[in-house]
Chains A and B, each alone.
Chain A
Amino acid sequence: MSRVGVLDYGVGNIENVVRALRAIGAEVTVIDEPEKLADFPRLVVPGVGRFDFGMQQLETIGFAVSLRQAAQRGTSILGICLGMQLFATSSSEGGETRGLGLFGGDVRNMSQSNASDFGERLPHTGWSPVFWAASGDDERFRVLRDAYFSHSFHLVPDSTTEVLATVDLGNKSFVALARKGTVLGAQFHPEKSGLGGLRFLDKWMG
């Protein structure tokens, strides 16, 4: 089992991600300095909270630049929830804010997609079935049926970013798992998705 660095950028609770990775036998280091990113073959960007605050933290600490460099080097990077949304080009959460640009696409409020007949309450909180894209060439992540979600915003990817799985809410479908190159983003929380979530992390660790 190889080494993985989990970014601590002052957004929400990262400890549970660390525990889940340790539970599958990974050698986990919490990283709070951007210079250290280069030491790790795998990086996790966790996070709950607001996009604008999260992005500001990444910029201030210096993670934004070093994450883009890591992606260019082909480092395997996993974003979870807000961590995944920060990969986008921009978000409307907290005013239009530029993201890391590791994914193509924008983050939008789920209620704006069709407020009148949306049919579900926000935030989307709880367990939902995950639908795996039929065209996905990469089937190794298909190890969880249901995942735990907690979000009001969602990624609207462009054609450069592959959607590996979706989640249905009301009469709409949203991105659950997306990938561009070696960068993977999960809208759900694998660290809170029981045994299926641990299996998913295990597959990502390789």
Chain B
Amino acid sequence: MVKGIQMDGLRVIGSVLDIAKDYYSRGIDEIVIIDVVASLYGRDSMAEIIREVTADCFVPVTVGGGIRTLADADILFRAGADKVAINTGAISDPGLIGNIASKYGSQAVVVSIQAKADAALGWECYTESGREPTGISVKAWVSEAESRGAGEFFLTSVDRDGTKKGPDWELVKMVRQLTTIPLISASGIKDADDVARTFVETQCEGVAIGSALHYRAATLEQIRASCRNFEVPVREAED
């Protein structure tokens, strides 16, 4: 598993399978695996990783990174992915969203948005793991992606990703106002309270946690305790 800090300077933090099994055994709700350098593993070895993870982890698994065509998605679904996350592939061919949704259902299509503040556009969509500006505003893209059949948004702030500076609640709140489908806030969590407060502040449907968990700034037990404290409904760990 490779963890990006501000989507650059990638660090290898361990085997995807070991980390997924560890989180699963401690009651993680869902697993998101993003191959940030799509060429790093190659499609076949990514499929093999998904096969291994889904053989042992019986929670939903979302897979993203380098999905450009329906055939790319087919390989990952066949390997066991429940949902695919697409960003660059969807921006360069918005029809891809509908193509995957028609075959697997909208609930299987997660549109990943990498947003960066921009003076002219407000928030601008970035592609290629936050490296390439698109000139497309987040506002316009959210509405287009939803109308084409996206089932969920996975929202990353390029400026906050992996920084543990706390999520950008203004960005999350803005996107939540723009859409009627579930929204996952996916960057900047620094500690357990940040997770609970993100739910309270933004009303988003999910929070994805990367660095904070991987580098042990927060444990799942602490996150659950904090959510209960803030009266955010949270699943109890199974025995």
User: Which of A's residues lie within 8 Å of B, judged by CB?
Assistant: 12-13, 15-16, 19-20, 23, 48-50, 121-123, 125-127, 129, 145-146, 148, 150-151, 189, 191-198
Among the listed A15, A122, A148, which residue makes an inter-chain contact with B59, where contact means beta carbons less than 8 Å apart?
Answer: A148
Say yes or no: A15 contacts B29, CB within 8 Å. no
Contact A148 B151 (CB under 8 A): no
Once bound together, how far apart are the Cα atoms of A19 and B50, in whole Å? 13
Q: Which DSSP category, helix, strand, loop or mixed, fits chain A's interface?
A: mixed
Q: Which of A126, A146, A192, A196 is in CB contact (< 8 Å) with B82?
A: A192
Q: Are B29 and A196 in contact (CB under 8 A)?
A: no
Best-surrounded residue of B24, B27, B106, B206 (most CB of chain A within 10 A):
B106
B174 contacts partner chain A, Cβ-Cβ < 8 Å:
no
- Is B55 interfacial (CB-CB < 8 Å)? yes
Question: Is A125 a contact partner of B182 (Cβ separation < 8 A)?
Answer: yes
Instruction: Name B80's contact: one of A15, A50, A194 (CB within 8 Å).
Output: A15
A-chain residues with CB within 8 Å of residue B30 when the two chains form the complex: 126
Which residue of chain B is the closest to A49 with respect to CB atoms? B105
Contact A193 B151 (CB under 8 A): no
Given the complex, which residues of B lie within 8 Å of A151, measured CB to CB? Answer: 107
Chain B interface category by residue count: 20 to 34
Chain B residues in the interface with A (C-beta under 8 A)? 24, 27, 29-30, 54-55, 58-60, 77-78, 80-82, 104-108, 151-152, 180-182, 205-206, 233, 235-236, 238-239
Given contacts A48-B105, A127-B235, A146-B236, contact A192 B206 (CB under 8 A): no
Residues from chain B with a CB closer than 8 A to the CB of A13 are: 77-78, 80-82, 104
The residues of B that contact A15 with a CB separation of less than 8 Å are: 54, 78, 80
Closest chain A residue to B108 by CB distance?
A48
Partner of B29, one of A121, A123, A126: A126
Taking CB atoms, residues of chain A closer than 8 Å to B107 are: 48, 123, 125, 150-151
11 extra interface residue pairs, beta carbon distance < 8 Å, beyond A23-B58, A150-B60: A13-B80, A16-B54, A16-B58, A48-B104, A50-B105, A121-B181, A148-B59, A192-B59, A192-B82, A193-B58, A193-B59
> In the complex, A12 Cα to B108 Cα: how many Å?
10
Contact A196 B238 (CB under 8 A): yes
- The residue among A16, A189, A191, A193 with the most chain B CB atoms within 10 A of its own CB is A16
Shortest Cβ distance from residue B132 to the other chain A in the assembled complex, whole angstroms: 29
* Closest Cβ–Cβ distance, residue B39 to chain A (whole Å): 26
* A residues in contact with B105, CB < 8 Å: 12, 48-50
| Distance from A43 Cβ to chain B, minimum over Cβ atoms (Å) | 20
| Smallest beta-carbon distance B199→chain A, Å | 12
In the complex the two chains form, is A195's CB within 8 Å of B235's CB? Answer: no
CA distance A197 to B27 in the complex (A): 13
Task: Name the residue on B nearest A82 (C-beta).
Answer: B105
| Complex alpha-carbon distance, A197 and B57, angstroms | 11
| Cα–Cα distance between A145 and B237 once the two chains are bound (Å) | 10
Cβ–Cβ contact A12 & B104, under 8 A: yes
B70 to chain A, nearest CB (A): 14
Among A12, A15, A19, A125, max chain B CB count under 10 A is at A125
Contact indicator B152/A20 (Cβ below 8 Å): no
List chain B residues, Cβ under 8 A from A191: 58
Q: How far is the CA of A146 from the CA of B30 in the complex (A)?
A: 13
B80 & A195 in contact (Cβ 8 Å cutoff): no
Report whether B58 and A20 are in contact in the complex, using a CB–CB cutoff of 8 Å: yes
What's the nearest-Cβ distance from chain B to residue A93, in Å?
A: 11
Q: Is the CB of A125 within 8 A of B205?
A: yes
- The chain B residue with its CB closest to the CB of A147 is B235
Give B73 Cβ to nearest chain A Cβ, in Å: 11
Q: List 9 A-B contacts (CB under 8 A).
A: A13-B78, A13-B81, A23-B55, A48-B105, A121-B182, A146-B235, A192-B60, A193-B59, A195-B238
Known contacts A48-B108, A49-B105, A195-B239; A19/B54 CB under 8 A: yes
Contacts of A198 in B (CB 8 A): 58
A181 and B235 CA atoms in complex are apart in Å by 32
A194-B27, A194-B58 known; A121-B180 Cβ under 8 A: yes
| Least CB distance, A29 to chain B, in whole angstroms | 18
Nearest first, the 7 A-B pairs at minimum CB distance are A195-B238, A150-B107, A146-B235, A49-B105, A127-B235, A192-B60, A48-B105
